[in-house]
Amino acid sequence: MSATPTSVLSIERAKASLRDIITALSMPDHATRLTEAKNNAGNDMMMYMQLVFPLATQIQQDVIQNYGFPADREGLLEFTRIIKMLAKENEEIAQMDEDLRSLLIPSMVLTYPQSNAN
């Protein structure tokens, strides 16, 4: 029998962990480094993945270890999986998860080629 998400991470601890991650990403040192990485990446998604995601991943890993998850890729994947499951059950967790995603994932700006129809 596999563990349920709430047996691994309660609703309240899930909220606390998301708050802690959002707070950590907003700390002046982290925010400065993330902003610099985002600026260096510009609109290049590959550069964004190379510069921003590793930094954001490390910050999240530092936080999730306080909630019993390993501070590695597998720990972050498991944490994310559980948060996604809990978000289906809890509106506040869903909103916090969305807030976190908005901090990490750039908004997509689609540009269309100009047509010279005369």
pLDDT digit string, tens, across residues 6-34: 567 899 999 999 999 999 999 999 999 99
Helix, strand, coil share of the chain (percent; to 5): 75, 0, 25
> What pLDDT score was predicted for residue 109?
57
> What pLDDT score was predicted for residue 1?
36
pLDDT digit string, tens, across residues 68-100: 999 999 999 999 999 999 999 999 999 999 999
In angstroms, the first-to-last Cα distance of the chain is: 67
- Name the region of 65 (left: φ>0; alpha: ψ -120 to 50; beta: rest): alpha
